[in-house]
Amino acid sequence: MQDVIIVGGGIMGCLTALNLLEAGARVTLLERQRAGREASWAGGGIVSPLYPWRYGDAVQALAVWSQGFYPRLAAQLAQRTGIDPQVSSCGLMWLDHAEQGQALSWARSQGQPLRRVDSDFIYRQVPNLAPGFTSALWQADLANVRNPRLMSALLAWLAGHRHFTLLEQSPATELVVREGRVEGVRTSAGVVKAGAVVLAAGAWSGDWLAPLGVSLPVQPVKGQMQLYRCAPGWLPSMVLFEGRYAIPRQDGHVLIGSTLEHSGFDASTTAEGFASLRQSALRLLPALAELQPVGQWAGLRPGSPDGIPFIGQVPGVSGLWLNAGHYRNGLVLAPASCRLAADLILGRAPEIDPSPYAPAERLAPR
């Protein structure tokens, strides 16, 4: 039975752990704070890149696989844990005009049911939308997942595995590497040993590789979010305009997001972020002027070149693996990314071509 340590208790760490456990491995998950409380908790949960036609084949391959898997994953989680992640196929409407031709061409090439709709359709679908939109793109089958519930369900499922150990509030300090092979992780409580270590620490993943002389181009990019409490059904579908979105939850809450800030590892909310999100909320849904937000928070995305994650073995260190750098699409790409990581670690034939994500092809020595 293989022993694996995973560093990072977000969606990548938890889903990688689940894949490995289901295949018979023993897994220890290390999280410096509370599991599932960083970017995986903070995101909006749209099960699609915001503008999918802007991405290349590498991101598309992971997104399409994951979109098909999410309904099955949600059903399994609800059945096993009693916690419903609330995957809601409510559809997404793009209100931008500039890229409609590009988007429709992409949709035809990919077999995606994306179509142009007129103002009559727009306002029948989303009656509370601001006036003035005459044309939009619409995809009826796109879903969102309520990511805090997703993380709670994943952690509950993991906790039921007898070969799973979760060490929260357990800052790990360094990798234990001897003669080019990883042997474990040193924590504040001592060394945890294993034959394989997976770095799934999001924006912090690069800190682990720097002492090994490897530079990982993953940087923190802050996103702030705002939440409104509305009646169930008040916003029937997701809407997106100029990079800002409104997402309905099944209980009526409406999520507005998100900012894009390069401010290091500062995950605090700001008055500027509040004002910017409030302006976007009213630009999309003017009736929200009658309400005050009931919540605001921020998370740190793991920004990477072209949004392509690093999945695979770290060059020069046997047994050390990466599953990090998903930028704005962590929740979108997680099921496929974690299946691929588990396939590679276990030596199984991967369901997805691993070459676009291979660290050996993309990482440069410091």
- Domains, in order of start, for the chain: 3-54+148-216+305-365 (3.50.50.60), 92-140+219-303 (3.30.9.10)
**Largest alpha-carbon pair distance within the chain?**
67
pLDDT band at 363 (very low <50, low <70, confident <90, very high): confident
Q: 264-314: per-residue pLDDT in tens?
A: 999 999 999 999 999 999 999 999 999 999 999 999 999 999 999 999 999
pLDDT digits (tens, 9 = 90+) for 93-109: 999 889 999 999 999 99
**How high is the mean pLDDT of the chain?**
96
Per DSSP, the three-state class of 158 is helix
Look at residue 224 in the predicted model and tell me its pLDDT.
98
CA proximity to 29, closest of 166, 129, 126: 166
Q: Strand pairing partners for 331?
A: none
pTM exceeds cut of 0.75: yes
| Cβ neighbours for 135, distance < 8 A, ≥ 6 positions apart | 97, 100, 116, 117, 118, 119, 122
Q: Is residue 324 within 8 Å of 217, Cβ to Cβ? A: no
> What is the per-residue pLDDT for 241?
97
Instruction: Give the span between the Cα atoms of 140 and 161, in whole angstroms.
Output: 37
Radius of gyration of the chain (CA): 21
Q: Is the bond leading into 258 cis (omega within 30 degrees of zero)? A: yes
- Residue 46's nearest CA partner among 333, 301, 303, 298 is 333
First vs last Cα of the chain: how many Å apart?
Answer: 35
Q: Are strands 26-30 and 3-7 parallel, antiparallel or unpaired?
A: parallel
How does strand 253-257 pair with strand 244-248?
antiparallel
- How far apart (Å, rounded) are the C-alpha atoms in residues 340 and 348? 9
CB 228 within 8 A of CB 254: yes
Q: 24-78, pLDDT tens digit by residue? A: 999 999 999 999 999 999 999 999 999 999 999 999 999 999 999 999 999 999 9
| Residue 258 · residue 240 · CB < 8 Å | no
Contact 21, 312 (CB under 8 A): no
Say if residues 109 and 52 touch (Cβ distance below 8 Å). Answer: no
Q: pLDDT, tens digit, for every residue of 26-41?
A: 999 999 999 999 999 9
Asked whether 299 and 38 are in contact (CB, 8 A), the reply is yes
